[in-house]
Structure 1
Amino acid sequence: MTANPLLPSGYDIVWSVVTVVVVGLAIVALVSLARSARGLTSLQALLWVVVVLFVPVLGPLGWLAVGRRARPTGPVTPHR
Structure 2
Amino acid sequence: MNPFVPTAFDGALMALSVVALLLALAAFISLLLATTASGWRLLAWALVILFVPIVGPATWFVARRRERSVARGQG
Shorter-chain TM-score range: 0.7 to 0.9
Identical counterparts, % of pairs: 31
Alignment of 1:46 with 2:43, yes or no, is yes
Aligned positions of 1:59-78 closer than 5 A: 59-67=56-64, 69-70=66-67
Q: 1:46 to 1:10 in 2, by over 3 A?
A: same
The answer to which structure has the higher helix fraction is 2
Structure 1: runs of 5 or more not aligned:
none
Larger Rg: 1
How many matched pairs? 71
- TM-score (norm. length: structure 1): 0.74
Does the CA-based 8 Å contact 1:26-1:56 persist in structure 2?
Answer: yes
Q: CA deviation at 1:58?
A: 1.1
- TM-score (norm. length: structure 2): 0.79
Identify the residue that residue 21 of structure 1 maps to in structure 2: 19
Q: 1:3 to 1:53 in 2, by over 3 A?
A: closer
* d(CA) in 1 for partners of 2:43, 2:7: 39
